[in-house]
Amino acid sequence: MTDRAAPASNAPASRPEAAGASLQHLDALIIGAGFSGMYQLLRLRDHLRLKALVVEAGDGVGGTWYWNRYPGARCDSESHSYSYYFDDDLVREWEWSERYPAQPEILRYLNHVADRYRLRPDIRLNTRVTAARYDASSNRWLVDTDAGERFSVQFLITAVGCLSAANIPDIPGLADFAGRWYHTGEWPHEGVDFTGRRVGLIGTGSTGIQAAPVIAESAAHLTVFQRTANYSMPAHNAPLSEEFKQYVREHVDEIRKVMHATTNGHPFTIAERSALDTPAEQRDALYEAAWQKGGLQFRGTFKDLLTDQAANDTAAEFIKAKIRQIVKDPVKAAVLSDIDHPFAAKRPPIDTDYFETFNRDNVALVDLRASPIVAITPQGIRTKDALHRLDIIVFATGFDALTGALLKIEIEGRDGITLRQAWRAGPRNYLGLQVPGFPNLFTITGPGSPSVLCNLPPQIEQHVDWITACIRHLREHGIARIEPVDEAADTWQREVDAAAKATLLADVKHSWYLGANVPGKPRVFMPYAGGFGRYRDKCEEVARTGYAGFRLER
């Protein structure tokens, strides 16, 4: 299938002058031009022939990959799976160069998609949606932008990403810091020159673990500030061989099927064997083989790693022993391997020489559990025990995940209730797709969907296809609005909760899956942990049964 035959642009012809702009009528407005927004535009415009527009804050397409330009930024999903699969021709014609794609290559890919499907005329860049209000009398969403434009649309679709609202900790004194500071998710396009500088890196999640080795190579000195020690497996990134590229071209359908059926949407399956039923020697040999292979497949070595603490302990001990083996300084090794949560119960990073970096003379490690940050001073970071003099501070402190980007927009639904009010106790919705009280609003990879627990492109495609089919159904049946009923949302919330509790993920109290990284955020396990395959089946069944759990009104 190909979508090359795109119609001419259907966007409003020109951008009206800011204040007092007239209302522009569209069928659908999509917020964000990353993987989700671009594919949603393609589906609505070219398949349903709707008048649709993407509004994007950045001055280019790419979403996450437009903003996250920090040193070492790379995807943890393998490149051949971190791609759209809606068009076999697209999969076959795009050639990834490495096993894990680096940020510039992903951005090139997304720009290629924008051009190939002629999406650009219907993407409004440099424009941020600030507010959206549902008007019941007209059954339209009234959407405001920071450019002073106002749109009236029947369908509002958020494609804002799960990890896009930067979490910058409120540390006293930051404003007085005499050097420069950056958050990895809002990295300057011109880059940052670390040459000869003393750099402090706060955060040891996937981002900090990717950035540290690269920063250490050019900085005069790097201090890594670690609050929670983390597991990481070697990525063993490498150029892709011609054989592998050929294999992908010849197995598009097969790869797609595996991704759709597995728990995490990756192109590999989880072994059927149990860690506890496997003799210790054999188990370690399997872990060693997985370690040598590298990447997230390590998680798939045994079926019970995320459901059984004793099984998980075997993987955790294996990785901790590896850390102690790699890191030569026993004090650093002890701090890095003092991990207090089960393996992969927080987002598991993969790395290129992260632990090896601590063997460099110019790299120090600060254990924030032992000596927390007290303040930032003009000279650097003051912990309980010392002042660390710095020229640059890098915050690799993650995101207000899943809800942050949505709640930044003033979204007001039926009866004047805002999304912030509706979600005061945590995100509540049906299937992660729609919120009671917010008719015709769809949230791509919203909380309550597999989202961050899944390789995102297949999850995004599934959401977009579902939303597109739903809108087609509404149009074909003369239905004006769709909204989940409260009972369906409550039942789904219980399912999301139960799915998390069936794993070890829900037990980690400092996890951003629970909102614990943002002070004051409700502690609710947000992504659906029941597996991508099961989730797809559930969504399909709901659509097949005439959208059970949703209220459809003419």
Q: Which residues bind ligand NA7 (CB under 6 A)?
A: 163, 169, 202-208, 227-228, 347, 368, 373, 396-399, 510, 512, 517
* CA atoms of 32 and 206, how far apart (whole Å): 23
The minimum distance between CB 361 and ligand NA7, in angstroms, equals 24
Q: What are the structure tokens assigned to 385, written together? A: 């025990």
**What one-character DSSP code corresponds to residue 336?**
H
Nearer to ligand NA7, 351 or 391 (CB): 351
Provide, rounded to whole angstroms, the least separation between the CB of residue 476 and ligand NA7.
38
Q: Is 313 exposed, middle or buried (0-12, 13-18, 19+ CB in 10 A)?
A: middle
230 or 468: CB nearest ligand NA7: 230
Q: Is residue 159 exposed (0-12), middle (13-18) or buried (19+ Cβ within 10 Å)?
A: buried
**C-beta closer to ligand NA7: residue 404 or 439:** 404
Distance separating alpha carbons of residues 260 and 262, to the nearest angstrom: 6
**Separation of alpha carbons 456 and 462, rounded Å:** 10
C-alpha–C-alpha distance, residues 387 and 389, integer Å: 6
- Closer Cβ to ligand NA7, 116 or 463, answer by number: 463
Coil, helix or strand for 266?
Answer: coil
Tell me whether residue 208 or residue 413 sits nearer to ligand NA7 (CB atom): 208
CB-wise, 207 or 462, nearer to ligand NA7?
207
Label the pairing between strands 380-383 and 373-376. Answer: antiparallel
Nearer to ligand NA7, 11 or 211 (CB): 211
| Minimum distance of ligand NA7 from residue 127's CB (angstroms) | 25
Closest CB 242 distance from ligand NA7, rounded Å: 29
CB of residue 538 to ligand NA7, shortest distance in Å: 25
User: Which of 127, 204 has the CB closer to ligand NA7?
Assistant: 204
Neighbouring C-beta atoms of residue 137, cutoff 10 Å:
5
Min dist. Cβ of residue 269 to ligand NA7 (A): 21
CA 475-124-32 angle, 5° bins? 70
Minimal distance in Å, beta carbon 266 to ligand NA7?
Answer: 13
Supply the minimum distance, in Å, between the C-beta of residue 207 and ligand NA7: 3
Q: In the sheet where 392-395 sits, what is the strand order?
A: 180-183, 392-395, 198-202, 221-226, 363-367
Q: DSSP H helical segments within 262-366, as ranges?
A: 280-293, 309-326, 330-337, 354-357
